[in-house]
Structure 1
């Protein structure tokens, strides 16, 4: 019996060993016969660089043989790329924060795929600020100022004993010609600050501009996609009809609180409503103002846009409507502004379509210099510059020292040329922006009708230790006029500034022999906190009756 069991055991061992050898042989055999090559899917080119709007035809090959479009499924991993059924890929947009773009080609129901990596670049247009070492040899002479300044501008200087000097001379035409010869288009320039702003399609021109012997530096102040220029024609001279007879609450109607806070009606009662005073309003836009049923009798001497792409001041943005209305409206029984008899220059410096870029400072300075050249007496600017779109550098608190920022420097010069500049403090923040930080402009914050601070008013100490804003006016719950000619309630230092600016015009009409700097001092001294100024009010609320008598004493 034992022999039988041993026999079967030996037989089982032999069979087991044979089975193991067979399995080992199968494990070692290749899955695919050596004479069969796996399918290989490739895409050509494997990577591409495209500028927005450019296209490239991709080709997919299976084992080296090109495939037809209907054999391939094409997909893009981003909306920035478009690919059609035949593998034509197009860069449709650009986002510098998105990377890893690719086009995927898939065949055989997803079993095989190939990837083409794509880089997209945006072709930008640039606006560049050229800072000049000097203005070059002028074609004009200081002995003939009438060739580059209006008679009113010359008269304002003479009246305040201000010399006409080299700052008044334009930049050399030869310099401008050399700049244009390199390429690009001159879109703004400043004779005061020795700058020229050009629009060009190629940032490589920067090095060429720097090679000019009179160029000190070149700064990018805008980049973006090119857009069509708007060269609309417009009229800037609505009829003017004086229609107010007395100065009661009923005449001012909804505008009563605007003026009563400062006792400004007392100037009107004495016959001082701004007549003979020219006010420039530098703002974002004055959409359809000539067609506004309430504002179409304003005395407008001129209107202009300084935006390269849009020369019409009347075709966009309503901000300037509400600002001008606070001063210029003259509709008895509906709304009467603080300077209804003054004449106005409406100057647009904001490119609201592009966004916030430093080039707006170039436009603002150009508008200020234009206002000077046509001979305005006052400028109201309800604008503030602090923050800009990436990648441009925004201002820091340390820049607000009254002499660094471009608009501030221009505002300082404008005051030296005899202009009275009124500026809003801005809304929000623990410090004011430019040009509000200027020591020479009247920076206005906002209060309620009861004299309490407007919660949004920007205020603070400047780097060099001055309080801003200087004074206060109604800016919280202000009555003004909208684009449809309706009386509306708005809030912002943008409205506090023109309310007071109009009253300054009336006071200057009453005492035309005063200089702008004397007038600034009088307004501060007339304010209810002059003896003990403190933030956020500064010197407080101006009292125009007190200011009237202070001016009389001088």
Structure 2
């Protein structure tokens, strides 16, 4: 599994065909599904049911638990079973051909599908893209708590949502990654613990709860930091008030197809818990055993098990963001799976000049779907790890930055159809309606999305507030049908400049020239406006 924060090293993987291989055994029924329908809370939390109700998504047989007696029957054949999926309704097992033949005789088995894509015995040369510039930065000069993360927040125009009060509160994010060392002790994550924002986690690779073990790869910690990390006066993530479940599906010491199953199991658990969003900076194309390797033609969004699992998560109302990959400069320069699935929102990387990062992987998927969907900062991005600011590069960091923005949108527009939300994110990105194979529809524009919904949607009305003149030299006036309780002015760094109560104007003559944000609290709603001081 490629961890997409890209420092590159050369790994030579010798893959020789064995007599056994990983297969998926599909079951033909769920005999006890009626019990589930009679009591959905036996399998799903109320939060999970609430998400479905809010978005108009009905329960179906995928939601019912897998039949345990079927699993036991497989084990009775002397075949260990550790990984299974209720969504796909079956188990993943490593077996030989004789065992496959035996399994096929069982009355509840509908089919058996191998994870293998070829029988090649060729030694493969694999380029794995990991952290590119993994440097810790000290003595970063900052003015406000966005700190050195300000540029990446402004590049996707996320600050307007934060100023409007949308920072991810009440939105639950599942991070599926490599592990989360020091998240339980690091200063950068202490605010999450203080506010009870870490809701739980699990290691599906080892089937344990030891997700904070310091021997684990810190990729997951750094990804989490980009969303929920906080260091006072130095850094704030893109959704600092969101809640989090932390799931490990990736073992960085090996590259095995079982990791696709671990990811699906994590996504199913995230659904049970009622998460609103999954962000995952993982992708698959090449494995230690080359018979499992994918070709570009397999990147059609439906071939891989993980792509199918990711699509099911989307169909359950979960917004799924996946890193496009860091293979843009390699012979394999395409996106990997599950970023190839048409329903997941795939994220490419750009630099500070709004140009595609050279390493960012190319779309489209092999079926012609535009990929990536959009882009965010992935070159020299800032995040936190343990108690420190660090600068990293890769689509792995672009993806959580974008995911935090989506969490803020979900807080603002919780009932919005998620297909509509994805489409509007594409439509408001910097290149739309055009696109490129590395940037998709362009750099995300969360403020543009927010404004377009405020202006047109039945969800939010914005026809009762206006400001004038704009640009302004001396006094900024507010026209409102409702009483104004208070006004707050923020500078471009997000720092509060002034606050006035019970007035419909504010003096700005002493302000330096530049762009400012006005937060307007009326009896009914909070509005925000951007203005220019001349």
- Structures share fold, TM-score greater than 0.5: yes
Partner of 1:186: 81
Residue number among 329, 344, 359 corresponding to 2:258 in the alignment: 359
Partner of 1:274: 168
Partner of 2:439: 537
Following superposition, the deviation at residue 96 of structure 1 comes to: 8.8
Give matches, 1:116-515, under 5 Å. 128-138=22-32, 140-198=35-93, 205-215=99-109, 216-217=111-112, 219=114, 250-298=144-192, 299-308=197-206, 311-315=209-213, 316-353=216-253, 355-428=254-327, 429-482=332-385, 484-515=386-417
CA distance in 2, matches of 1:339, 1:543: 15
CA distance in 2, matches of 1:422, 1:531: 21
Retained in 1: the 8 A contact 2:187–2:231? no
Following superposition, the deviation at residue 199 of structure 1 comes to: 6.3
Following superposition, the deviation at residue 517 of structure 1 comes to: 1.4
CA distance in 1, matches of 2:381, 2:249: 24
Partner of 1:20: none
TM-score with structure 2 setting the length: 0.72
Give ranges in structure 2 of 5+ residues lacking alignment: 1-13, 117-141, 458-534
Following superposition, the deviation at residue 218 of structure 1 comes to: 5.6
Deviations 1:480-528 (Å, cap 9, x if unpaired)? 123x421111100000000000011011111112122121112111111
Give the 3 Å change call, closer, same or farther, for CA 251–135 of structure 1 in structure 2: same
Aligned residue pairs total 407
Deviations 1:164-216 (Å, cap 9, x if unpaired)? 0111111112211211222243212111112212468x886444333323332
Give 3-state SS (helix, strand or coil) of 2:70's partner: helix
CA distance in 2, matches of 1:148, 1:309: 19
Deviations 1:22-57 (Å, cap 9, x if unpaired)? xxxxxxxxxxxxxxxxxxxxxxxxxxxxxxxxxxxx
Give 3-state SS (helix, strand or coil) of 2:366's partner: coil
Retained in 1: the 8 A contact 2:15–2:290? no
CA distance in 1, matches of 2:86, 2:384: 36
Give 3-state SS (helix, strand or coil) of 1:468's partner: coil
CA distance in 2, matches of 1:366, 1:290: 23
TM-score with structure 1 setting the length: 0.70
Following superposition, the deviation at residue 217 of structure 1 comes to: 1.4
Give 3-state SS (helix, strand or coil) of 1:296's partner: helix
Give 3-state SS (helix, strand or coil) of 1:217's partner: strand
Whose relative contact order is higher, 1 or 2, with alpha carbons under 8 Å and at least 6 apart?
2
Partner of 1:227: none
Retained in 2: the 8 A contact 1:135–1:191? no
Retained in 2: the 8 A contact 1:475–1:496? yes
Retained in 1: the 8 A contact 2:229–2:383? no
CA distance in 2, matches of 1:542, 1:500: 8
Deviations 1:211-262 (Å, cap 9, x if unpaired)? 32333216367xxxxxxxxxxxxxxxxxxxxxxxxxx952111211121111
Deviations 1:369-404 (Å, cap 9, x if unpaired)? 111111000000100111111243211111111222
Following superposition, the deviation at residue 135 of structure 1 comes to: 3.3
Retained in 2: the 8 A contact 1:511–1:551? no
CA distance in 1, matches of 2:451, 2:115: 50
Please say which structure displays the higher CA radius of gyration.
1
Partner of 2:486: none
Give 3-state SS (helix, strand or coil) of 1:473's partner: strand
Give the 3 Å change call, closer, same or farther, for CA 337–362 of structure 1 in structure 2: same
Retained in 1: the 8 A contact 2:381–2:393? yes
